[in-house]
Amino acid sequence: MGGEGRDVSWIIWIAVKEPETPHVSCIHILQGLCELSPRQHRFFEHLLSLWPCLNGRFTLLNLSRYSCFCERTFRRHLAYPFPWLAFNAALLASIHTDSGEAMLALDASFVPKSGRATQGVARFYNGCSQRVERGLELSLVAVVDLSRNTAYALHAQQTLPASGQPCKDLTHLQATQAYWPQGVRHLAVDGAYARHAFVEGVCDLGLEVVSRLRADANLRYLFTGEQSGRGRPKLYDRKVKWNELDLQRWHEDGELEKGVHLYSATLNHKSLKRTIRVALLLTTTRQGKERRVLLFSTDLKLSGREVVRLYRARFQIEFLFREAKSHAGLTHCQSRSQQTLHNHWNAAFAVVNLAKLTTSQRVSAPFSFSSCVQKQRNVHFLQVVSGTLGLDWNTIKAHPRFQSLQNYAVIAP
């Protein structure tokens, strides 16, 4: 290992060997990954403990400033594959809800990247600027805990342009199939994934899709009348005319919120080439115009309210992106290596998972990753100070004012 000549760094290493609770569970998981060497066990245990303690940008050089390892050591270890999918799956296996309700979510996010030598740099849609920009794109598969209304990252993977695969997102989802939680039946995605090839592929994997349709989707009513008895049975009735909507053919599910009326029906989608369960949300704007939102599911047994509930829970994956980008340095990797980028992205999401797991076990208050990061930084600094001054760390932790020092500058202690 590099950088062993720094005295203060070894104090940090001694402190990290007994990490605080956000990383206690990951030690046993890392030991259970048989494909890792003892040196890799020590490095990634150190990396996950050190990650939330950083100030500034999450680069390899900045990591070395907080560690006993030099930048070259971080670069060498992060250039090799790590089983992030197995690690996150083992971590999520320790999360057991009383109701056991969970579903999958899939989404992509834009990562800015300058230069031309990085593999996969192309033009992708950036949702923040609402335009296509040059950079990288990552695809994330997450597990949404419906009882706690929160999401945990399962695996992140770079989206490569012009790979020759007709549906790259489906390939990523299929690669994680062996690690899905038991009993998962639904996958929630945004409207960009509402394509025939993707929906058919997901259904072939044994999942039901929950997504959104265009406001002018080409839908047809199912024929429920009496058949003529000659020729092929009639399957569909007339097309849904949105300008002259016949609400008598829809099931009224009441008022979802104030001013939001919910209707549901089983219809046929011409482009998807299948019958789906559609939830229609109607609202009236201040200008008197009617606004509609169409949600759907391939699970015909779901009610309209269930379709809305599952699609709303999909937004928890957006919070994963926000937390990883704001406080875990998801977009800070300066390496051009595809493997290093892969390890950097998954490490950022793994730290968010560990913080969420620890917080959910302690309190029932709303989760704040910013507060978790600030606590880790405070504890890390206290550990360095106590080690440098030769103080007893156990005595400091037992002090009655230690909790106030741990919560210093924390927004939600």
Residue-wise pLDDT tens digits, 393-409: 999 999 999 999 999 98
Residues 285, 189, single domain; the answer is no
Task: Please tell me the predicted confidence (pLDDT) of residue 229.
Answer: 74
Task: Please tell me the predicted confidence (pLDDT) of residue 225.
Answer: 81
Q: Is the pLDDT of residue 85 over 60?
A: yes
The pTM is what?
A: 0.89
When the pLDDT of each residue in the chain is averaged and rounded to a whole number, the result is 87
Q: Is residue 32 part of a domain?
A: yes
Contact 249, 221 (CB under 8 A): yes
Task: Please tell me the predicted confidence (pLDDT) of residue 268.
Answer: 96
Q: Is residue 262 part of a domain?
A: yes
Residues 79, 105, single domain; the answer is no
Q: Is the pLDDT of residue 276 over 60?
A: yes
Contact 401, 29 (CB under 8 A): no
**254: part of which helix (H) or strand (E)?**
strand 251-257
Q: Is the pLDDT of residue 5 over 80?
A: no
Q: Is residue 300 part of a domain?
A: no
The two tokens of residue 170 are 């489906």
What DSSP letter does each residue of 159-207 carry, written as one string?
PPTT-S-S-HHHHHHHHTGGGSPTT--EEE--GGG--HHHHHHHHHTT-
Pairwise CA distance, residues 63 & 249, whole Å: 61
Q: Is residue 71 part of a domain?
A: yes
Structural domain containing residue 234: 219-295
Residues 284, 371, single domain; the answer is no
DSSP secondary structure letter of residue 242 = G
Rounded to the nearest 10°, the torsion over CA 164, 170, 171, 173 is 160
Residues 127, 169, single domain; the answer is yes
Residues 260, 175, single domain; the answer is no
Residues 119, 32, single domain; the answer is no
**369: part of which helix (H) or strand (E)?**
helix 369-389
**Overall residue count recorded for the chain in this entry:** 413
Dump pLDDT digits (tens) for 137-169: 999 999 999 988 899 999 999 998 865 455 778
Among residues of the chain, what percentage have pLDDT more than 90?
65
Q: Residues 37-54: what's their mean pLDDT?
A: 91
Task: Please tell me the predicted confidence (pLDDT) of residue 236.
Answer: 87
Q: Is the pLDDT of residue 174 over 70?
A: yes
pLDDT category at 21 given cuts 50, 70, 90 is very low
Q: At what angle do helices 71-78 and 38-50 cross, to 10 degrees?
A: 110
Pairwise CA distance, residues 87 & 135, whole Å: 28
Degrees, nearest 5: CA angle 144-148-152: 35
- 162 — alpha (psi -120 to 50), left (phi > 0) or beta? left
Residues 113, 169, single domain; the answer is yes
Pairwise CA distance, residues 140 & 318, whole Å: 10
* Nearest alpha-carbon partner for 140 in 156, 160, 124: 156
Q: Is residue 302 part of a domain?
A: no
Q: Is residue 328 part of a domain?
A: no
pLDDT category at 299 given cuts 50, 70, 90 is very high
Residues 198, 246, single domain; the answer is no
Q: Work out how many domains the chain is built from and give that number.
A: 3
| Helical ranges in 212-315 per DSSP H | 304-313
Number of C-beta neighbours around residue 96 at 10 A: 9
Residues 169, 201, single domain; the answer is yes
Residues 390, 285, single domain; the answer is no
Contact 176, 356 (CB under 8 A): no
Say which residue the tokens 């062993």 belong to. 4
Q: Which residues make Cβ contacts (< 8 Å) with residue 408, sequence separation at least 6?
A: 374, 378
Q: How far apart are the first and last CA of the chain?
A: 37
Q: Is residue 202 part of a domain?
A: yes
CATH of the domain at 101: 3.30.420
Dump pLDDT digits (tens) for 239-250: 999 988 999 999
Q: Is the pLDDT of residue 18 over 50?
A: no
Task: Please tell me the predicted confidence (pLDDT) of residue 7.
Answer: 40
Residues 226, 159, single domain; the answer is no
Task: Please tell me the predicted confidence (pLDDT) of residue 62.
Answer: 95
Q: Which of 262, 295, 328 is the last residue of a domain?
A: 295
Q: Is residue 40 part of a domain?
A: yes
Residues 157, 121, single domain; the answer is yes
Task: Please tell me the predicted confidence (pLDDT) of residue 165.
Answer: 55
Q: Is the pLDDT of residue 361 over 90?
A: no
Q: Is the pLDDT of residue 366 over 90?
A: no
